Amino acid sequence: MSQEPHVIVPEHVPPVALAELGEGQQQKLDTIAHHVRGILSALGLDLKDPNLAETDLRVAKMYVEMFHGLAEGAEPKVTTFPNEEQYSHMVMEKQIPFYSMCAHHLVPFYGHAHIAYIPRDRILGLSKFARILEFYAKRPQLQERLTEQVVTYLEEKLQPLGAMVVIEARHLCVEMRGVKKPGALTVTSALRGIFHQKSVREEFLDLLRHG
């Protein structure tokens, strides 16, 4: 992997700077806050309680941040580089942490993604894996769809020989309610191209376990 040129930049996307919100965003905050007040009232809570007095706006701001992937212009600017070294082995970024919100229940699911591809003509800066993941995670989401969206993005941007994404996550909607299975991990995978070959998948798993 040492022959792969890349630029190291911080992996974490900065949170939305609320001070920079435009008028449309302010309207969105007000609308969400209004509905949060409705929910709290329907639950019989006293909105004059000091702990609840500003909960509506706090939740609204939090939603805007957690669903930032939906905002216009949120898609990361991903530049690719020519594969000048003709690197033709697997590039893997593993244990990338993420937090998302289950589209069915609007409670968090979170865990790690392992993303790999085998380049053809273009390569990707390593920090970009986390940004792509973050972009698709910051919206009401399904783990299955998140996995597919990341692998599809890699395929479209890089046209690699192949790509594979594995996501392991805990779902609070499973752990806190219903069947209540604390600690259960949901694992999803999606693959393209040469990763359909068993030997390539085995290399992926080997790098995941030991690499």
Give me the least distance between CB of 108 and Zn ion, in Å please. Answer: 9
Of 66 and 102, the one with the shorter C-beta distance to Zn ion is 102
Give me the least distance between CB of 137 and Zn ion, in Å please. Answer: 14
Q: How many Å from the N-terminal Cα to the C-terminal Cα in the chain?
A: 11
Residue corresponding to tokens 């973050």: 134
Number of residues assigned to the chain: 211
Give me the least distance between CB of 128 and Zn ion, in Å please. Answer: 28
Of 78 and 142, the one with the shorter C-beta distance to Zn ion is 142
Of 90 and 102, the one with the shorter C-beta distance to Zn ion is 102
Residues forming the site for Zn ion (CB under 5 A): 102, 104-105, 173
Of 67 and 129, the one with the shorter C-beta distance to Zn ion is 67
Give me the least distance between CB of 103 and Zn ion, in Å please. Answer: 7
CB burial readout 7-20, b (16+ within 10 A) else e:
eeeebebeebeeee
Residue nearest to Zn ion (CB): 173
